[in-house]
Amino acid sequence: MTSLAVLAYLVAAVCFIMALRGLSSPVTSRQGNLFGMAGMAIAVATTLILVPQVRNYWLIVPAIAIGGGIGYVVAQRIQMTALPQLVAAFHSLVGLAAVCVAAAAFLDPAAYNIGTPGAIHVGSLIEMALGAAIGAITFTGSLVAFAKLQGLVTGKPLVFPLQHPLNAGLGLLILLLIVWMCAGQSGAAFLLLILVALALGFLLILPIGGADMPVVVSMLNSYSGWAAAGIGFTLQNNLLIVTGALVGSSGAILSYIMCKGMNRSIINVILGGFGGEAASAAAGPAGDRAVKQGSAEDAAFVMKNARSVIIVPGYGMAVAQAQHALREMSDLLKKEGVDVRYAIHPVAGRMPGHMNVLLAEANVPYDEVFELEEINRDFAQADVAFVIGANDVTNPAAKSDPASPIYGMPILDVENAKTVLFVKRSMASGYAGVENELFFRDNTLMLFGDAKKMCEDVAKSLA
């Protein structure tokens, strides 16, 4: 590799580091995205132009054109509500790419300068084995996450007897297959390694409940990064190693932070069954229990006469694309002298930062948006908590019902507000499949209907 290529890769790596730094805050997230785009453009151009081993442009250029075209179409058509499953789908492609590169290197090691068939360097065998195993786990795990987020598979945890021993056995089998592959360079061992890893990825994610899916998406992001780093060693590409390590470590750190915020164990995320053990103990149906039902006019009257309103957005807001109508409603309240703030739960929505992105799209001021630990104590002094589609993250069962699958997860204490206005289409349970006791509290007023239309109707009543 030429010195110019090494320098260009260094610049690209710096861009990726700046991208992660920018994405750590909503204020600098746009700048972070630009750094990431610049770094990727430099990386691709450097690989195609300055790396002498890269040939066969008649295959590479059409592949880039096809992939870029698909990406452009997806970016134009995708809805904000579908971003979580899109991210999961893209993670699966990264994992599949790692498996394909490892297979290519195993079949033709001379092309990668790692030896000859039957005489591959042991270090390279370990690298490609780890890359292939992690990539295969990422591939099937991400497909399951996509299916759950898309609604193709139930969001409830799917558990079965001896689940954890089976996963542990498959993990041990993977280690044994890696040893066999490195010792005898057996093609059968390599094929079995991939098949077992594919099965393990499927079994790890299947028992994880919908309420915990944001953490799973983050962890799968970490897996895809480590898979890319492993393949970077096989390709002897320093930038791929650095980039994969950045993605892997940042995803792991984010998953740990989210697990800590949810009072969950990071080990359970890695080993599977996260939040799934108590799935069968979810609350039953509401039956004939009564709730207080109100209208947009009632909500407008209550909030107009309030001193402080805390808005809690959730996936229901995302589905209805109600963020712009919500911003209009909050602006009218502020004109009336009402103090309006937004409370964001770490796992609200279907991926980390989902609500922050939607609110930023509606130009909600950053200084009005607060995380759980910053605002939770303020609900006791708030006149109104306006909950728009956030179900599981406001459910008091997380604090009061040890049998609940969300028990132990810190929630937004909206029930402490003087009045809770809950916007929801129906009395259906949340993504975790747990009935929300908040619906039946004396200080809760249910506002049934589409979230966007409800916000628009409230705004009309305020105007």
Residue 119 neighbours by CB distance under 10 Å:
10
Write the CB contacts of 417 (distance below 8 Å, at least 6 apart in sequence): 310, 379, 380, 382, 383, 384, 385, 443
Burial of 362 (0-12, 13-18, 19+ CB in 10 A): middle
Show the CA angle centred on residue 312, arms to residues 307 and 316, nearest 5°. Answer: 135
Task: Choose, from 392, 401, 413, 457, the residue flagged as catalytic.
Answer: 392
The 8-class DSSP code of residue 114 comes to: S
Decide: 128 and 234 in contact? Cβ < 8 Å.
Answer: yes
Q: Are strands 119-120 and 339-344 parallel, antiparallel or unpaired?
A: unpaired
H/E stretch holding 339: strand 339-344
Q: How far apart are CA 438 and CA 285, in angstroms?
A: 14
Give the pair of three-digit tokens for residue 203: 């079994």
Decide: 239 and 9 in contact? Cβ < 8 Å.
Answer: yes
- Type of residue at 250: S
Q: How far apart are CA 450 and CA 437, in angstroms?
A: 21
At 21, is the secondary structure helix, strand, or coil? helix
Q: How far apart are CA 321 and CA 81, in angstroms?
A: 8
298 is a catalytic site residue? no
Decide: 244 and 232 in contact? Cβ < 8 Å.
Answer: yes
Catalytic residues: 392
